[in-house]
């Protein structure tokens, strides 16, 4: 049984342009769906966060309207409660990439706050890319790619094709005009080639060892593509 590393946000808020703190964390489905797929395939999961803090779930991701009804919302909440790894994260600073067969970053607005500027995460992303190990990143988690800056100042993912939460989706979610910066725009500025799909429908982009997904609906398909690379 091989191990898959889940690198998750350690914050419970996202600082908006006016300085206010929008409650957030990780998005439930983006952790639950891949977790279930990986576990069903026989893999062990290890969760890592900056400082080893227990990750916070975005309460909005547990709402009925975010899950196609209360029944599915209850299933997500139940699955989340069963993920004991979430309560025992290791410190991101202590991660040894050699211990893992693949690395996965779930989204939520949290990564926009911490992983986007976390040098330890950025170094891990560069090392994962250079190792050729499968790397999965979904929704807002591609914000973490912004911290993957090489010694020459360029971004390690420049030239890579990715899917990420789009500016159009952020606008439809009602937060685009409140944000300090927008993910699709910022990734494009550092040379990452964002390939947007229609809002809210699955969109997965595979480029070499990198598998990325646009939104919560893309999390299960991203996991499926990662598993193909581990087969």
**Going edge to edge, which strands form the sheet with 102-105?**
90-91, 44-49, 3-7, 102-105, 135-138, 210-213, 204-207
Mean pLDDT for 23-32 is 98
Interhelix angle 219-230/28-40, rounded to 10 degrees, is 30
pLDDT of residue 1: 74
Mean pLDDT for 107-118 is 98
pTM flag (> 0.95) = yes
Residue 4: its H or E element: strand 3-7
pLDDT tens digits for range 116-147: 999 999 999 999 999 999 999 999 999 999 99
Residue 211: its H or E element: strand 210-213
pLDDT tier at 50, thresholds 50, 70, 90: very high
pLDDT tens digits for range 163-221: 999 999 999 999 999 999 999 999 999 999 999 999 999 999 999 999 999 999 999 99
Interhelix angle 28-40/70-81, rounded to 10 degrees, is 60
Mean pLDDT for 9-14 is 98
The tokens 């390939």 sit on which residue? 195
CB 110 within 8 A of CB 71: no
């Amino acid at each position: 049984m091989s191990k898959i590393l889940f690198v998750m946000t350690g914050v419970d808020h996202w600082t908006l342009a006016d300085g206010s703190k929008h409650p957030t964390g990780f998005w439930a489905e983006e952790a639950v769906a891949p977790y279930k797929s990986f576990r069903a395939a026989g893999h062990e999961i290890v969760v890592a966060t900056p400082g080893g803090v227990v990750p916070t779930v975005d309460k909005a991701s547990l709402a009925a309207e975010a899950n196609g009804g209360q029944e599915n919302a209850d299933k997500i909440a139940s699955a989340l409660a069963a993920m004991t790894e979430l309560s025992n994260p290791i410190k991101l600073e202590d991660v040894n990439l050699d211990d893992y067969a693949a690395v996965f970053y779930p989204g939520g607005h949290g990564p926009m706050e911490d992983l986007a500027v976390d040098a330890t995460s950025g170094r891990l992303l560069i090392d994962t890319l250079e190792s050729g190990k499968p790397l999965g990143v979904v929704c807002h988690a591609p914000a973490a790619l912004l911290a993957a800056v090489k010694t020459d100042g360029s971004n390690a993912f420049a030239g890579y094709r990715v899917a990420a939460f789009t500016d159009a989706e952020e606008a439809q979610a009602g937060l685009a005009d409140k944000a300090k910066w927008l993910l699709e725009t910022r990734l494009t500025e550092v040379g990452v080639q964002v390939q947007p799909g229609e809002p809210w429908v699955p969109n997965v982009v595979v480029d070499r060892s990198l598998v990325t997904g646009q939104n919560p609906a893309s999390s299960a398909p991203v996991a499926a593509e990662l598993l193909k690379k581990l087969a």
